[in-house]
Structure 1
Amino acid sequence: MKHLSFILWLSVLFIGCSPSSETRPKDIIEINVPLHQEDNIIKLSTIIDSIDYVPLATDNEYLIGNVDKLIVTDDSFYIIDKDISFSIYCFNKKGKFIRKIGNRGASDKEYVSITDVNIYNEKIYIWDSSSRKLLIYKSNGDFIRSISSDYAAESIAILNDSQVAFYGDYKHNYKFEDKGRYPNLLTLDLDNRKIDTDLFYEESLSTSGITRLPNNISNNKYLIMPLNDTIYQILPSEVERKYVINYRHEFKKAQENYIKRLKTEKVTVDDAMAMAGESAQFPIFNVFFEGNNFSYFFYQMGYHIYFGFYYPQSQIYVEASANKKNPIENDIDGLARFLPYAVHKDFLYCVMEPSAILEHAEWIPASQKAKVNKLKSEDNPIIVAMKMKKQ
């Protein structure tokens, strides 16, 4: 059974654009990203202090089909499998299965599909875009309530106990149209049903040429959008520009020209895919995570892969790059592949297939052998916790 979804790796081109919300310049962190064209392979030991492997318990009642999203809390791993088992699984930090959250069905307490999941203050929020319904559960699995929304969204962020932000991903939400513009962000107050909208785009934008980012909102507060070099922080009171990514002039100019084309021409999916090949002229910003003392970035430009690491205390930016391969070389144990699915505090979390472990059993560190000595290829995946070094 295939566990891992490669939504974070060699994805199709993700395209979009949106005006920036204003905030004071002194509040914005600017990061200069060189995006070198030559390979710059970085050894894992220069950024990672240690690696820990956590096999997730396996049983037919909680067999994971695909890892579409991983959420890590102080005590638990939450695995979201959107399209195979249609389930949300909770495991403790030792890999023991705890419970499923919610069920698939047609009642008010059930979801038809899982579009996005987030966790806030010991509550689990499930957004079902097919039925336009937000379901809220306690961490013990007890159902609290469901709330309907007319806004079509692909991602959610929980801002506090009463406010939820929905990201529309360039959908024409006609009910919220304002003078030929559509909002990419909507905030809903669950108590009084008050709605605020933001990040508008023009109706003339050629959205037929815009494909989608799978997980736009990270750390339950940061929003990235295709073809936009701003990372937004979603707050209960406003949307702020938190980070601005500065590319080299030639990349920035090519990006601006493509945005102009989106506004003046009918750009198709085939056109967008063509921009993802060897002739790509500017990078696509795919993933952003923020930890305690670092931030992680993932870009693509054609088939060239970039992993970036920013350390706010020292204001150092480190870039790894490679063509058609992973730019991080595991020189610690040779086993784990660097491809983060989540960040929590000082750790980056990756996911591995059991077969990838079993194929290289001789590389398993002695300290980890007891955890994986009974591993079978059909078992649930392994969570790989990588502790970041301070720079």
Structure 2
Amino acid sequence: MPLEVTDASLIGKIDKVIRHEERIFVLDCDIAQAAFCFNLEGKFLFKLGSSGKGPGEYRELRDIVLYPSTNEIGVLQGEKIIWYSTEDGAFTGYTTELENIVLDKVSLLDSTRLIGYANNQCFSKENCSKFYSFTKDAKILNRYLPIEKQEKNLYVDYENPFSGGTYSIGFTHVLNDTIYTINGHGKMVPKVWFDFTDMASNDKYELPKSTKQYEKWFNKTVKNKTVKGLTFYHETNDVIQFKFRRGVDLVWGLFLKETSRLILSENIFADEILFINTNVGIHKDAFIAYFPRGIVLQISESLPSAENEIKDLINTYGKNFYDYMISLDGAANPILVFSKFKNDL
């Protein structure tokens, strides 16, 4: 899905994508410092609010979160969430203001609860946790993973504190090689712990040619709930997508639940989906990724002299993708990709 380029919708880096009915919301925290709305054809519709200190304006933009029951989408400023209509981007007049808690990220936990992540921010002994669940009217319901003094510098994946959410099969968080989930009693507990120590090969810079040993390992570790070295984890009803460190390398994998098939990054398919694209969200059972603007322009520039690759490009991404690429003239937005991984891959 090419995103329309206008003077008001030029995107540098995509940090998050949320799809709601006929709308797609795209967050760029760093370069544009704005949240954009497009329709399902990629046509630009509006921005969410603007920077400032007035009603409905924000001083900074850290994250966005959907509240589907009221058709609102919120912009996280840190200590508060400012809510806008998903229909036209207008300020609804409602804000969620948290006392003594400054959040870095926020997500929807379920239909009535939000969950926020604070990057080791402690205002008092009572307000010293990594995660907080709360209602839209700012009532704190629970705190998870409290921070002790010796844990102040504990590494947490700041870019991806929420590995799951409303759009997958449940909230998950990766910390210290452990996948945490929230159980029925409202407690954040370990779900799976990964151990990669039995995957070492003679050359740590090369992956084995066969995925059989990985498939055996993955089935064993998921069954026994033991795994180590994980840095990324997303799960849907059909597939698990994960990333782990192996030596100095990062290895991507897809695990197809029904067939127990494992696709790793040495496979061409996995390279194409998991390296060229950058994962920014989940919608139902599809991963949302994107081609960065730089890669989009590189592809468009190389097409005139890449006759052998054009057929493969059209077969993989479709004629519309090819037509868009050759139509570019010096300006481009990232291209969204919705990838649903089927069990017969």
The correspondence for 1:68, drawn from 15, 32, 36, is 15
Q: Tell me the equivalent position of 2:264.
A: 320
**Structure 1 spans left out of the alignment, 5+ residues:** 1-53, 252-281
Cα drift, residue 91 of structure 1: 1.0
Partner of 2:186: 238
Match of 1:156 among 93, 106, 112: 106
Whether the aligned pair in 2 keeps the contact of 1:289 and 1:296 (CA below 8 Å) is yes
Structure 1 residues 172, 250: CA separation in 2 closer, same or farther (over 3 Å shift)?
farther
Instruction: Between 89-98 and 215-224, report the one with greater CA deviation.
Output: 215-224
Does the CA-based 8 Å contact 2:258-2:343 persist in structure 1?
A: no
TM-score (norm 1): 0.66
Shift in Å, 1:347? 2.6
Call closer, same or farther: CA 1:80–1:166 in 2, change over 3 Å: same
Check whether the contact 1:305–1:327 (CA below 8 A) recurs between aligned residues: no
**What residue number does 2:57 align with?**
110
1:351 aligns with 2:290: yes
Which one has the bigger helix percentage? 2
* Partner SS state of residue 62, structure 1: coil
Distance 1:234 1:220, change over 3 A: farther
Q: Could you say which residue in structure 2 is the equivalent of 1:143?
A: 91
- Cα contact 1:153–1:169 (8 A) shared by 2: yes
- Tell me, which stretches of 5 or more residues in structure 2 are unaligned? 200-226
Instruction: Please tell me the root mean square deviation across aligned C-alpha atoms, in Å.
Output: 3.2
Among all aligned residue pairs of Structure 1 and Structure 2, give the percentage whose two residues are the same amino acid: 19
Q: Tell me, in whole angstroms, the C-alpha distance in 1 between the residues paired with 2:149 and 2:279.
A: 35
Quote the Cα distance in structure 2 between the aligned partners of 1:175 and 1:339.
38
Which is bigger in relative contact order (C-alpha 8 A, separation at least 6)? 1
1:1-391 correspondence to structure 2 within 5 Å: 54-121=1-68, 122-129=71-78, 132-140=79-87, 141-144=89-92, 145-149=94-98, 150-160=100-110, 162-174=112-124, 176-177=126-127, 182-191=128-137, 193-205=139-151, 207-208=152-153, 210=155, 212-221=157-166, 222-233=171-182, 238-241=186-189, 243-249=191-197, 284-314=229-259, 316=260, 318-321=262-265, 328-330=270-272, 337-352=276-291, 353=293, 354-361=296-303, 362=306, 363=310, 364-365=313-314, 367-368=319-320, 369-391=322-344
What is the Cα deviation at residue 388 of structure 1?
1.4
On the 8 A contact 1:293/1:311 being kept in 2, the answer is: yes
Counterpart amino acid of 2:253? G
**CA-to-aligned-CA distance 1:312-336 (integer Å, 9 cap, x gap):** 344x2515146xx998344x9xxx9
Name the counterpart of 2:210.
none
Aligned partners of 2:182, 2:142: CA distance in 1, in Å? 16
Whole-angstrom distance in 2 between the partners of 1:64 and 1:111: 19
For the 8 Å contact 1:231–1:243, the answer to whether it is kept is yes
How far apart in 1 are the matches of 2:121 and 2:187?
Answer: 19
How far does residue 82 in structure 1 lie from its aligned partner after superposition? Answer: 0.8
Displacement, 1:106?
0.9
Give how far 1:224 is off.
1.6
CA contact (8 A) 2:157 2:231 kept: no
Q: C-alpha separation between the residues in 2 aligned to 1:106 and 1:160? A: 31
> In the alignment, is the contact (CA less than 8 A) between 2:232 and 2:243 conserved in 1?
yes
1:45 corresponds in structure 2 to: none
Distance 1:378 1:300, change over 3 A: farther
Question: What is the rounded CA distance, in whole Å, between the counterparts of 1:70 and 1:306 in structure 2?
Answer: 24
Distance 1:292 1:377 in 2: 40
How far apart, CA to CA, are the structure 1 residues paired with 2:298 and 2:18? 22
Per-residue Cα deviation, 1:93-130 (whole angstroms, up to 9, x for no partner): 2111121112111123111111111213122122111x
CA contact (8 A) 1:306 1:327 kept: no
How many Å separate the matches in 2 of 1:192 and 1:153?
13
Shift in Å at residue 58 of structure 1?
A: 0.4
Q: 1:77 to 1:371 in 2, by over 3 A?
A: same
Cα pair 2:195 2:229 within 8 Å, conserved:
no
Cα gap change, 1:246 to 1:212, in 2 (>3 Å) = closer
